[in-house]
Amino acid sequence: MIKVDLITGFLGAGKTTFLLHYARYLIGKGLKIGILVYDHGAVNVDLPLLQELRGDRCELETLAGACDADCHRRRFRTKLISMGMSGYDRVIIEPSGVFDVDEFFDTLQDSPLDRWYEPGSVIAVVDAKLEDETSEDADFFLASQAASAGCILLSRVQLASSAELERTVEHLKRAAKAIHCTDTPEKRILAENWDHLTEADYEKLTHCGYRMADYVKTIAGRKPDFQSLSFLNPHLTRQQLEEKIAQLFENTEYGHINRVKGFFQTEESWYQVNATVKETRIDPVPQGHAAIIVIGSRLNEEKISILMTGKPPEHRIL
């Protein structure tokens, strides 16, 4: 049976960065792995960050996230069927930040997948500097992902104060209580600088398993209140982009912005942008895909499009 690991985490938690660390470890152990990545929206901007992993022992696959739930489940199942024929020792799935973990377990129980795959480690990545106030839907994904995880891995621990770490744990407990989950998340938290993870830490992560937690699905019967807007080939300088991102987070007229991410190019250099309400990071990268994605709730598509491109939108919100 092929073990399937799931790396979850709400928008901007740092799933892709951890996936790089985790995949390098598994490849270094001599395993052949397959990675399936999909995003919230029509454009996947995380894949370029993983290109360095491609090789004899690692293959990358993508899944379009911009479709309805039934269509997405069919595509997810079909993709896993095709990957099951590739001789992997382990498969790693990195879904959207607004992923319902039940879909993972339900899909693996379908025939013929149940004969090929078994759940491995479910790892929930949580920002150590988690916002104090988030929406009800955001807290559902935060709590349900953590409740199902064998390990809750905190990101950016080295940047967080002890007070921020305590507030993050309290937020997790509060979110769990809101969905009537009696879980005690702090017992499963790993709070270490990812650059300093040891062999023992990775062994813990590869064998942490998962939990079949009980909770109330507060999003049942409705579509979660998250949307995304994609802007391809943005003709913006770094300063212009930073200014526009600041406006998105500061002005409620654009809606509630959870995250802005993507890539842009200036002259011969590529940069990755990753922004939340607390910080905006722009880092050089070897290559990218020229696109900026805005993710949030109650988005004002027209105003955001005019801000980012100078003209009204030509397509609908996804």
Query: What is the phi/psi pair of residue 12, to 5°?
Result: 85, 10
Asked if 78 and 62 count as a contact pair (C-beta separation under 8 A), the reply is no
- Close Cβ partners of 131 (under 8 Å, ≥ 6 residues apart): 171, 276, 277, 278
Cis ω for the linkage preceding 112 (within 30 of 0): yes
- Kind plus residue range of the DSSP H or E element containing 35: strand 33-38
Distance CA 134, CA 249 (A): 14
Distance CA 266, CA 48 (A): 17
pLDDT in tens, the chain (318 residues): 999 999 999 888 999 999 999 999 999 999 999 999 987 555 666 777 788 899 999 999 988 665 666 777 888 888 999 898 889 999 999 998 888 899 999 999 999 999 999 999 999 999 999 988 888 888 999 999 999 999 999 999 999 999 999 999 999 999 999 999 987 788 899 999 999 999 999 999 999 999 988 888 877 656 667 888 889 888 888 999 999 999 999 999 999 998 999 899 887 788 989 898 888 989 888 877 888 999 888 899 999 999 999 888 875 544
> What is the DSSP code (8-state) at residue 8?
E
Hey, what are 271's tokens?
A: 């940069």
Reported as half-sphere exposure (CB side, CA atoms, 13 A), residue 36 has a value of 24
In this predicted model, what pLDDT tens digit does every residue of 73-127 receive, in sequence order? 888 888 999 898 889 999 999 998 888 899 999 999 999 999 999 999 999 999 9
CATH 3.40.50.300 is right for the domain spanning 2-206: yes
CA-CA distances (angstroms) from residue 287 to 28, 163, 245?
24, 37, 22
pTM of the model: 0.88
Domain coordinates in residue numbering, the chain: 2-206, 227-309
Hey, what are 127's tokens?
A: 């920002």
- Close Cβ partners of 193 (under 8 Å, ≥ 6 residues apart): 157, 158
Asked if 16 and 24 count as a contact pair (C-beta separation under 8 A), the reply is no
When the candidates are 3.40.50.2300, 3.30.1220.10, 3.40.50.720, 3.40.718.10, the CATH number that belongs to 227-309 is 3.30.1220.10
Which residue, chain included where needed, has tokens 């830490």?
201
In this predicted model, what pLDDT tens digit does every residue of 157-172 receive, in sequence order? 999 999 999 999 999 9
